[in-house]
Amino acid sequence: MLGFNIFLASFIFAQTNFSGKVLEASSDAPLPYVNIGIVGKNIGTTSNGEGLFELILPKENAKDSLRFSMIGYESKTILVTDILESKSKETIIFLNEKAMNLSTATVKAGRFTKEKVLGNKSRSKRMVGSFTPKKGYEIVQKIKIKKSPTAIKSFNTYLSSRKLDSLMIRLNIYEVKDGKPGESLLNENIFISNKDITGRLLSIDLSKYNIYVEDDFFIGFECVDYFGKNELGFCASFIGPRLHEKETSQGDWNKINIVSLGFNVNVKY
């Protein structure tokens, strides 16, 4: 019994429950679905709809950094050791809005006369890929463009399964850097809830966001919140661009060389 007590005490001592709230600096309004995690590690979460978060920080990561980031806001980084040594375990994090960068391609909108569907158009249920309902988990796939600049008008995918209690996902678009997803190309968040996922075809109108790209890009989904049992399966195929995934928002990207999901976009160029 003594050995058990010593082990339990050591386990509790080796980690800290870190909780708090993320607010917008200019208004003190809660920021929902902020990405929170140890940089380069699969330890992380997202803030909930009220900006609240809770995260277990292992002491072995004391020398690492904890990052708070969200599309449209400047990221904030804190040393894990400062959190572990702090007497207060509840913290308020303020994020400042970023200055919006508008693509110069918007000035040339009249040039976009040709329309095309780019990406994997699979509708087959013989091969499927499932989306993991875990906060911060993300899957994206590369889209190759035909001409620069290209305007992204919509994102489409066919679902092989859809069993949802409550799910909130974020559509993300990234530049390609060294073959992997790089910086976000979005100026604002694009959220999709289980209420928006009603049929086999999931089509998201992106025309109002004025998204223009100059080169190939990655596009896909990130789970930001969920409740209950959720299953979201996508039609897939052997042929097509390979997926990249990461377990948490601040973790590293990994390439999946097994399947290609039916992710495609309607574009104009």
Tokens found for residue 228: 């209950």
Cα separation, 16 vs 89, in Å, equals 8
Q: What is the pLDDT along the chain (269 residues), one digit of tens a residue?
A: 434 343 344 444 467 889 999 999 999 999 999 999 999 999 999 999 999 999 999 889 999 999 999 999 999 999 999 888 877 757 899 999 997 665 444 445 557 889 999 999 999 888 899 888 999 999 999 999 999 999 999 999 999 999 999 999 999 999 999 999 999 999 999 999 999 999 999 999 999 999 999 999 999 999 999 999 999 999 999 999 999 999 999 999 999 988 899 999 999 99
- Predicted confidence at residue 125, as pLDDT, reads 85
Neighbouring residues of 21: CB distance < 8 A, sequence distance ≥ 6: 30, 47, 50, 51, 52, 53, 90, 91, 92, 93
Q: What is the pLDDT of residue 109?
A: 52
Domains defined along the chain, listed by start: 2-95 (2.60.40.1120), 104-268 (2.60.120)
**Mean pLDDT in the chain?**
89
CA dihedral in degrees (48, 217, 238, 136; nearest 10)? -10
Residue 63 is predicted with a pLDDT of 92
Query: Measured on CA atoms in the order 57, 17, 52, 228, is the torsion positive or negative?
Result: positive
| Tens digit of each residue's pLDDT (9 = 90 or more) over 175-222 | 999 999 999 999 999 999 999 999 999 999 999 999 999 999 999 999
- Structure tokens given for 260: 């290609």
pLDDT on residue 4:
39
Tokens representing 259?
């399947």
Answer yes or no: are the C-beta atoms of 118 and 269 closer than 8 Å: no
Quote the pLDDT of residue 108: 53
Question: Which DSSP symbol is given to 95?
Answer: E
- Enter the pTM of the model: 0.89
**What pLDDT score was predicted for residue 110?**
59
